Structure formats: structure tokens, C-alpha cells
Amino acid sequence: MIRFVLDTSIFVNPDVRAKFGKNPTEAMKTFLNYAEKLFGSVEFYVSPGIHREIMNFVEEEEVSPDIEIYIIKKPPNVHDIKIPAFVVYELIEDIRRRIDKGLRVAETAVRESVIDTSSVDRIIQKLRRNYRRALREGIVDSKEDFELILLAKELDATIVSADVGILTWAQKMGIKWVDAVKFKEVLDELVEKWS
């Protein structure tokens, strides 16, 4: 049995979603058609947190009851999953580097504001954008992201995400992953294989 753990990015990231549909609901409906064709050979999972995120973007009445049939909601067993100490060590080092990088972004913004006080709002917007990028890109930055990784580890499943942080940490933990940008092609191959 092939197992995939799905991230919200498949249905809401515009670059990924476009392969499935114009909006999250359309993308979900297209995905569910694939899931129906692969039923019995492939299992698709989401954690409860990811399910809640997805349901914020799709029109529930248009995807029910198929979403309940073809996508299994399962929380990771957070009490029994073991995580190697090196993962925590690398996370701490990564956070420290990001905090330092964020500080440098803030210092640059202050220097720019001293030089050009007429555009303080523009400088603050730039600071926020760069600070967010420095601290959040490439890191697991939510409980939902961490649940996704733990669930994939528990099930020995393949993570499907466009989130660089999730894919980076999946790789560090030896978890199989597929970049969500290529997921539709993977599904096409599976459907062709089992048709």
C-alpha cells in the first residue's frame, strides 16, 4: 500500500493548485477524482490540523462526502514517536541563525530609515517582509507542519508539500517526500499503472 501525507499547500499554493484547478475547491475536487481511481491501492492522510486548514479554503458542501471517504484524518502518535537528538540540535542551531539574520534585517531597516525618513512606512513594510523571510522560510514553523512530519514518520508515508521547511526537515529525518509541484504527475503515473 502506498501512503501519502498531504499538506495544505497542494490546494492553496497558486503554483501547485493551478495543476488541479482554479481555486482550492476545484483543486480538491480534481484531487478527489484521482483518489477515487486509486482507492484500495493508495491511501491519503492528513492530520486534524491540516484538515482544518484545508476546510478553511474549500467549500465543504462541494467536496463532501468524498473528502471523508478518500482522505483519512489521523493525528500522529506524539507519545510514542521517537525523534533523534540531532534533529532537536539542528533545530536549535537553525533558530539561532535565523534570529541573528532577523536582527541584521532590522538593523538594515533602521539604517535606511535614518537616511530616508520620508518613507518610514515603506521601510517598515520591507522590514516585515525581510524579517519574515529570514525567520520563517525553510523552517517548520507551525504545529500543523510538525504534525505532518510526525504522521509521515509514523506511517512510513511520503509527504507531499510545497513548503520548503517541511521538505527540508523531512529529508533530515529520512522521510520520503514529493514536491507538491510534481504531485499531479505522480498521480497520473499511479493511475496509469493501476488502470
Which pLDDT value is given to residue 114?
65
Same domain? 123 vs 43:
no
Is 104 a member of any domain?
yes
Going edge to edge, which strands form the sheet with 2-6? 71-73, 42-46, 2-6, 158-161, 177-179
What digits encode the pLDDT tens for the residues 142-185? 788 888 999 999 999 999 999 888 898 899 889 999 999 999 99
Structural domain harbouring 119: 93-136
CATH number at residue 75: 3.40.50.1010
Same domain? 77 vs 159:
yes
Is 122 a member of any domain?
yes
What digits encode the pLDDT tens for the residues 72-108? 999 998 788 777 777 777 776 777 777 777 777 777 7
Is 162 a member of any domain?
yes
| Burial degree of 25 (CB within 10 A; 0-12, 13-18, 19+) | middle
Give percent of the chain above pLDDT 70. Answer: 86
Give how far the C-alpha of residue 194 lies from the chain's centroid of Cα atoms, to the nearest Å. Answer: 28
Same domain? 29 vs 116:
no
pTM summary value: 0.78
Helix ranges (DSSP H) in 116-181: 120-136, 143-155, 164-172
Is 87 a member of any domain?
no
Domain count, the chain: 2
What digits encode the pLDDT tens for the residues 58-77? 999 999 898 999 999 999 98
Which pLDDT value is given to residue 140?
65
